[in-house]
Chain A
Amino acid sequence: MASGVRLPLVRVAVPARPRRIPAWVLALPPVAALGVVFLHPLALVLWQSVSPDGGGHSFSAYGEVFAQAAFRDALRNTVLIAAGSTAGSLLLGFALALVIAFVPFPGGKAIGRFIDVFLSFPSFLITLALLFVYGTAGIANGLWTGATGAAAGPFDFLHTPWGVLLAEITYFTPFVMRPLLGAFAQIDPAQLDVAASLGARAPRIVRQVILPEALPSLAAGGSLVLVMCLNEFGIVLFTGAKEVTTLPVLVYGKAILDGDYAGACVVAVVNIALSLALYGLYRTLTHRIDGAHRART
């Protein structure tokens, strides 16, 4: 309904809105830095793998490398050792974290804190320590020869796949324990008390109460260890395991010892693809576990 009253027009000063910087502009510097520092060298590796020494571009280097028995051995060793080390680290890490978190003993907290320090150690240091203990001239063999008068001790496995496995499990177990200890700290102790009062023994409590709560942390620690094991170089080198060639060691051999850069790049590409594939598979599985866990809690 028209009122017939005419309102005066008033010019209102609208404060100018601050101009917003587009998100893509903000993202540009870190992406550019990532590209220069990481993606560009990666692209060079990829490019080199399809650039034979004779010139031009082809996948012939892939065919040559894949045909080599040494490559197939290295691939098998890499997968087996990484899988074994991850499984071993998960089992040992879970058991040790359980003891530290739920079985009170003097020094338990100090050990928990030492785990953090352990994470900062370089991998070769652990391998070196194992050499001092289990090496052919190590403490264990020294004790044996001293006690039995034998010429040599029985411990001679560090240069075998088992030695690499032992060193990797020793080194990577704390990487599983750290997130687990955090997860265990979140579990209400009353749940464990109630479970025990309901008649559950320790194995059932671990299996049905603690483990389901710790699964996401176990998955996180396991995925980290898997990727690190796939790419571990120092431990294999320091154990002096001549019969144990993994993909990173093969890259080193081809590039530095043989001067076969195209071949080294092929192996490196395979190593990267393998890491991404296994990691992707692992994350898919753990994502399902984690998703189900979140849905429940």
Chain B
Amino acid sequence: MNTGIRFDGVSVAYGGNIVLDALDLTVEPGEVMALLGPSGSGKTTALRAVAGFVQPVAGRVFIGDRDVTDLPPHRRGVGMVVQQYALFPHMRVDANVAFGLKARGVHGAHGARKAPRDEIAARVTEALEMTGMSAYARRYPRELSGGQQQRVAIARALAVRPGVLLLDEPLSALDAQLRSGMLAELARLHRDLPDVSMLYVTHDQIEALTLADRIALMDRARLQDCGTPQDLYRRPRTEFTASFVGNANLLPVTVTGDGVRLAGAVLDVPAAGAAAPGDPATLCVRPHAIGLGEGPNALRGTVTEVQWRGATHRLCVDVAGHRVTADVRELHETSSLGTEVTLHFAARDAVVLPATAAPVGPGGGAAHG
């Protein structure tokens, strides 16, 4: 089965307002691609373009080798899971799961024949077992918890054995504990179904980092960055990526011949093409990569805030007018506000980014989280 998704210059507009701008993106067969971005970034529109609920004004959408741009939704052969589950309230769980099998036949998107009843029953049972919902087959959706309803929604989407599974913020209606459990369930499902390509829309970086093989980062209707979670986290290419994927200290620096200068201190961090010597740039260091005390790339400043976070302490330090956040192991003696401290970080944990005219995205120069 040749699955996978390809956006080929796809643009979508509502009444002249561009909500998805020339998206070029490929989801490989069996890959989990997270579309991550803030509200209004165009990620859900991209998903709906694959499902066939919005018609691109430009570009083509491919599922496998098929150009599905002009196909109606019922002929695209995708499975879809949405935020509020969208279970059919008047149908029992098994009828919900059987809906797609009856609608399109057991062979999937192009199955012309109707599914025999016993085949449908077997596929319903299989899908419910896969999601751990076998015991609830005869219940109505209203008799289930939010997490159980979401499992049924996933079973319903998987029962038709789609080559492509579209998930639109599927966990955002769940509480934190359930979300964590469902995230593990989704990861297990992906391992069990290695041929299914998944397009996973979320604004939650943890979900994206945990589940995705690659993350496509979107902002203001455009694809801003795309890469593996590790790449985007460890070696972000833009300030937006650095601030949206994980927490980051984004500090204005000036590139020198052998490093960067921050408020008079010369730091041994290779700029590596981010900017020419003498040009402004942005230094990105993750809060957990910063240590307390003397070391390489030392920064001296004044403690402005101390937060106890269980296993760690978060220190906010004013370094020459710039707020630097450091997550350090739990301190036995916490620094009091106004204390002078020294922070340091290893060169390998820092990245120099091209400077932008204005702070981009959440964070905007300081770590969040």
Real complex partners, A and B? yes
Q: A residues near B, CB below 8 A?
A: 188, 190-191, 193-201, 204, 208-209, 212-213, 293, 295-297
A residues less than 8 Å from B5 (CB atoms): none
A213-B78 contact given A195-B99, A198-B156, A198-B160, CB 8 Å threshold: no
Contact A199 B100 (CB under 8 A): yes
User: A208 to B77, alpha carbons, bound, how many Å?
Assistant: 20
B residues less than 8 Å from A191 (CB atoms): 86-88
Residue of B nearest to A192 (CB): B86
Contact B82 A193 (CB under 8 A): yes
Q: Mark B97-136, 1 if CB is under 8 A from A, else 0.
A: 0011001110001000000000000000000000000000
Given A197-B80, A198-B100, 17 more A-B residue pairs with CB atoms under 8 Å apart are A190-B83, A190-B84, A193-B51, A194-B157, A197-B51, A197-B166, A198-B74, A198-B103, A199-B77, A199-B103, A199-B109, A199-B160, A201-B103, A208-B88, A295-B140, A297-B90, A297-B140
A residues less than 8 Å from B153 (CB atoms): 194
A-B contact count (CB 8 A): 83
| Contact among A188, A193, A200 with B53 in the assembled complex (CB-CB below 8 Å) | A193
Contact B82 A194 (CB under 8 A): yes
Does B222 make an interface contact (CB < 8 A)? no
Residue of A nearest to B109 (CB): A199
Residue of A nearest to B87 (CB): A191
A residues less than 8 Å from B188 (CB atoms): none
Contact B73 A196 (CB under 8 A): yes
Residue of A nearest to B143 (CB): A296
B residues less than 8 Å from A196 (CB atoms): 52-53, 72-74
Does B365 make an interface contact (CB < 8 A)? no
User: A296 to B75, alpha carbons, bound, how many Å?
Assistant: 30
Contact A297 B89 (CB under 8 A): yes
CB distance from B282 to the nearest CB of A (A): 40
Contact B99 A200 (CB under 8 A): yes
Residue of B nearest to A215 (CB): B90
Contact A213 B74 (CB under 8 A): no
A residues less than 8 Å from B91 (CB atoms): 296
Residue of B nearest to A191 (CB): B86
| Contact among B74, B77, B86, B166 with A188 in the assembled complex (CB-CB below 8 Å) | B86
Q: Does more than half of chain A's interface fall in helix, strand or loop, or is it mixed?
A: helix
A-B contact pairs, 9 of them (CB 8 A): A195-B99, A196-B72, A196-B74, A197-B78, A197-B166, A198-B79, A198-B100, A200-B104, A295-B140
Does B151 make an interface contact (CB < 8 A)? no
| Contact among B72, B75, B90, B156 with A212 in the assembled complex (CB-CB below 8 Å) | B90
Does B191 make an interface contact (CB < 8 A)? no
B residues less than 8 Å from A208 (CB atoms): 88, 99
| Contact among A193, A295, A296 with B73 in the assembled complex (CB-CB below 8 Å) | A193
A residues less than 8 Å from B86 (CB atoms): 188, 190-191, 193-194
Residue of B nearest to A297 (CB): B89
A residues less than 8 Å from B89 (CB atoms): 213, 296-297
Interface residues of B in 21-62 (CB under 8 A from A): 51-53
A residues less than 8 Å from B156 (CB atoms): 194, 198
A residues less than 8 Å from B90 (CB atoms): 212-213, 293, 296-297
User: A204 to B74, alpha carbons, bound, how many Å?
Assistant: 11
Contact B84 A193 (CB under 8 A): no
User: A196 to B52, alpha carbons, bound, how many Å?
Assistant: 9
User: A295 to B140, alpha carbons, bound, how many Å?
Assistant: 9
B residues less than 8 Å from A195 (CB atoms): 88, 99, 103
Residue of B nearest to A197 (CB): B80
User: A196 to B54, alpha carbons, bound, how many Å?
Assistant: 13
Contact B99 A197 (CB under 8 A): no
| Contact among A200, A295, A297 with B103 in the assembled complex (CB-CB below 8 Å) | A200
| Contact among B72, B80, B88, B157 with A193 in the assembled complex (CB-CB below 8 Å) | B80
User: A295 to B89, alpha carbons, bound, how many Å?
Assistant: 10
Residue of A nearest to B77 (CB): A199
User: A36 to B311, alpha carbons, bound, how many Å?
Assistant: 80
Point out which of A188, A191, A194, A212 has the most chain B C-beta atoms below 10 A from its C-beta.
Answer: A194
Residue of A nearest to B89 (CB): A297
A residues less than 8 Å from B100 (CB atoms): 198-200
Contact A190 B74 (CB under 8 A): no
> 6 closest A-B pairs (Cβ-Cβ)?
A199-B104, A198-B100, A190-B86, A196-B73, A199-B103, A197-B80
Does B261 make an interface contact (CB < 8 A)? no
B residues less than 8 Å from A194 (CB atoms): 80, 82, 86, 153, 156-157
User: A194 to B76, alpha carbons, bound, how many Å?
Assistant: 12
Does B66 make an interface contact (CB < 8 A)? no
User: A23 to B142, alpha carbons, bound, how many Å?
Assistant: 37
B residues less than 8 Å from A296 (CB atoms): 89-91, 140, 142
CB distance from B84 to the nearest CB of A (A): 6
CB distance from B43 to the nearest CB of A (A): 16
User: A197 to B72, alpha carbons, bound, how many Å?
Assistant: 9
A residues less than 8 Å from B142 (CB atoms): 296-297
CB distance from B208 to the nearest CB of A (A): 22
Contact B88 A197 (CB under 8 A): no
Contact A200 B82 (CB under 8 A): no
